[in-house]
Amino acid sequence: MNRRTVLKQLAVMTGGMVLVPSCDFSRNDILSAYDQLKVTQGEVNILAKLCETIIPSGEAIKGADDLHIKDFVLVMMNDCYSKDDQMAFTKGLKNFNTFTRSVSGKSFEDMDKDESKELVLKVLNKDIDTSKFENNEEYTMEDINSFVNRTKQLTVQGFMASEYIMTGIMPYQLVPGGFSGKVKIKEGEKVNVNG
Amino acid sequence: MANLNIDSRKERTFDAIVIGSGMSGGWAAKEFTEKGLKTLVLERGREVKHLQDYPTTNLQPYELEHRGKVKQKIREDNPVVARCYAFREDTQHFFVKDQEHPYVQEEPFDWIRGYQTGGKSLLWARQVQRWSDYDFEGPDRDGFVVDWPIRYKDLAPWYSHVEKFVGVSGNKDGLDNLPDGEFLPPMELTAVEQYFKNHIAEKYDDRSIIIGRCAHITGNFEYYAKQGRGGCQHRNLCQRGCPFGGYFSSNSSTLPWAEKTGNLTMRHHSVVESIIYDEKKGKATGVRVIDANTKEAVEYYAKVIFVNASALNTNLILLNSTSDRFPEGLGNDNGLLGKYVAFHNYRARISGEYDGLLEYRTEGRRPNGGYIPRFRNVRRQETDFLRGYAAGFSGFRKIHTDHSGVGEELKNQLLNPEYGPWRVGSHMMGETIPKESNYVNLDPEQKDEWGIPLLNVSVKYDDNDEAMIKDYLEQLTEMFESAGFTNISVRDDHRVPGLDIHEMGGVRMGKEPETSLLNKWNQLHACPNVYVTDGACMTSTSTQNPSLTYMAFAARSANHAVDELKKMNL
């Protein structure tokens, strides 16, 4: 059953009640997140690059840039996390270029695709020589870890819970209509996390 | 809807007043209006109309700005309601926020409330099981509290009456400890649940696994179309309000039905301050209401008054209804009003995995689960603790996604998850023993915005509850192990009472006016034209999800009141 049919059926059931499928975030919420987390456009670009490094856009399947995942990350950080979590996240973000310069000699924003991927993997794998920046007072490795890990978690969530994935790639049915407790899995059948 | 002219006493006079529009109040309203009584339903919260006022009901998951998560600020400001499993981004507008309606916790108690048309009937878990005589006879057999003044045969026809109208999906399991009802077709167990059911049936002669009996329409569709309700579509988004009317709520069912009779007047934003007692007439004559917005006081009058304000608020209203005749609260001659409050113990859960039946999966969603009826101390006392527990049981295929790494590899992993083993889990629903030391009362100083004393709640677990948790975890571990489940882990989350949302008692039923507040018809012994048919009336709690029993009490008592009015006894 596709979405249009479902909506039509719902309209019948609900006596033509108006449906308001608002999509993603309003511009205001995004701006408010920029404002309250005090992030600059330059920092947003760094975040966007990190998101894209985590889930790259591709010709076959869309990725972080295509789906504006950075906006999801920012709105979630702004609305759904504690002050402490926000502080660590923004510290990590604001100092990310400085951090990458001290460990690999290059700003994150100047890295090519392979370099940024290698760097992010090193952070995730805790494979960073922290002695290179231990004297700085601006940020700690915990801030960097917090920023990268939280961004990864939210990027994955924003990607998997996007309209794009939940309609086209792994369809979610708002109105499944029924339930079967025992269905034989077919050979080569693709697993749908929203099935 | 009638246009109320508050200047006229006549226009403020009805045949019946029902305080509260939730699960049980809706039932009282339906029965009264069908029998021709002009009925006023007072709801302290705002109006929530079926269909029109379910703002999130048709939203896709990706249309929820935070994908279901409640904002941090709201969680921090409202820690009690934020602990409720059903308080989510798409449902939060139907819950009372802590800050809006404070109460006093002499002992920690998470009081979950829904102040709107339909109350918590919009939000409930929809599990409906009948009590049996093993439950009604419990207090008498085991020597705690007082004997229930009724038995299963008294309530059975009313269970049927309610089940038919509500729509209950269930299987006729033929269990004497969990009587069958008027069932629509059952939902399916999953492959692993069916396996466990068969295994347990073979291994134990006192235990069974069944599909939950839930208030969802799965058949007899023409009958429910008359209520404007359709079949359950298995969305499993019930707490948003159902656009199909697939599950029962006052909003979708009893209230619109009552309204169609032309005998219903609903007044929202109406906080009942107290019930008015007339010393000369020797009965209650009406209720005093504070308008939630204007704070203006208004009185309404009726021959019979039903208190269905939700268990603890019903206690509050009665405690606050003082007069020369009843200085300690309406009907409270024995000083027991507000005492013997109890609840269900939901602290423990167990989970595990099953590596068999790997060629199967499930399809669709199921707003229901498996159920393990109480098996401990049913026919005789067999443990060192009193009573027992029921339990939920569910099993679904785990889907494993590799979240390691970044880049194309991660993306590829996310798009190609794999089925893992079956994941099985159970949670306990334990009977707690009502005690005089578990009580609610009125705070002597603090009042709410409407000038009504704050309710003080003092309810605790006891050693019996601790022993029961231990036994549940031992027994379920043994059952899981014997079924070949692996990676078993057990947990006591140490939640405080209240989060079960099954608080009961304080205005208990009983045979004697010296030891109880209500008689076998749910009338106050000392003021028989006031009935209490919500959770406050419960003498003991047993293990069943209680709403069905409240609804049966409400329907039975409303019909009793109609008969008594005819006989001029009220």
pLDDT at res. B97: 97
Q: How many C-beta atoms surround the C-beta of residue B564 within 10 A?
A: 17
Averaged pLDDT, B464-489 = 98
Max CA separation in chain A (angstroms) = 67
Contact residues on chain A for B171, CB-CB shorter than 8 A: none
Does domain B1-169+239-342+503-570 fall into CATH 3.40.50.1820? no
Contact residues on chain B for A162, CB-CB shorter than 8 A: 62
Interface of B with A in 427-486 (CB under 8 A): none
- Residue located via tokens 């099954």: B502
Pairwise CA distance, residues A96 & A93, whole Å: 5
User: Please, what is the average pLDDT of chain B?
Assistant: 97
Among the partner residues B189, B235, B408, nearest to A174 by beta-carbon distance: B235
Q: Is B546 helix (H, G, I), strand (E, B) or coil?
A: coil
pLDDT at res. A5: 45
pLDDT band at A33 (very low <50, low <70, confident <90, very high): confident
pLDDT band at B7 (very low <50, low <70, confident <90, very high): low
Query: What phi and psi values does residue B484 have, to the nearest 5 degrees?
Result: 85, 15
pLDDT at res. B4: 53
| CA end-to-end distance (rounded Å), chain B | 27
pLDDT at res. A12: 43
User: Considering only alpha carbons, which residue of chain A is nearest residue B64?
Assistant: A24
Q: How many C-beta atoms surround the C-beta of residue B176 within 10 A?
A: 10
Averaged pLDDT, A5-27 = 45
- Residue located via tokens 């409720």: B84
pLDDT at res. A15: 40
- Residue among B72, B81, B163 nearest B123 (CA): B81
Q: Could you tell me what percent of chain A has a pLDDT over 70?
A: 86
Q: Are B357 and B192 contacting, i.e. CB atoms less than 8 angstroms apart? A: yes
Question: In the beta sheet, which residues pair with residue B350?
Answer: B426, B490
Q: Are B328 and B337 contacting, i.e. CB atoms less than 8 angstroms apart? A: yes
Is it the case that residue B42 has pLDDT exceeding 70?
A: yes
Averaged pLDDT, A76-95 = 96
**Per-domain boundaries in chain B:** 1-169+239-342+503-570, 174-212+344-431+461-496
User: Considering only alpha carbons, which residue of chain A is nearest residue B368?
Assistant: A179
Give which of A174, A189, A193 to mutate to test B binding, by max B Cβ within 10 Å: A174
Interface of B with A in 493-532 (CB under 8 A): none
Q: Between A and B, how many residue pairs show a Cβ–Cβ distance under 8 A?
A: 156
User: Considering only alpha carbons, which residue of chain A is nearest residue B394?
Assistant: A181
- CB atoms A75 and B243 under 8 Å: no
- CB atoms A191 and B419 under 8 Å: yes
For chain A, how are helix, strand and coil distributed in percent, rounded to 5? 60, 5, 40
pLDDT tens profile B166-193: 999 999 999 999 999 999 999 999 999 9
**Residue B462 vs residues A168, A170, B200, B341, B428: alpha-carbon distances, Å:** 53, 48, 30, 13, 16
Question: In the beta sheet, which residues pair with residue B423?
Answer: B353, B396
- Residue among B127, B126, B97 nearest B113 (CA): B97
Degrees (nearest 5) of the Cα angle B428, B429, B433? 125
pLDDT tens profile B360-377: 999 999 999 999 999 999
- CB atoms A163 and B60 under 8 Å: yes
pLDDT at res. B5: 56
pLDDT at res. A38: 87
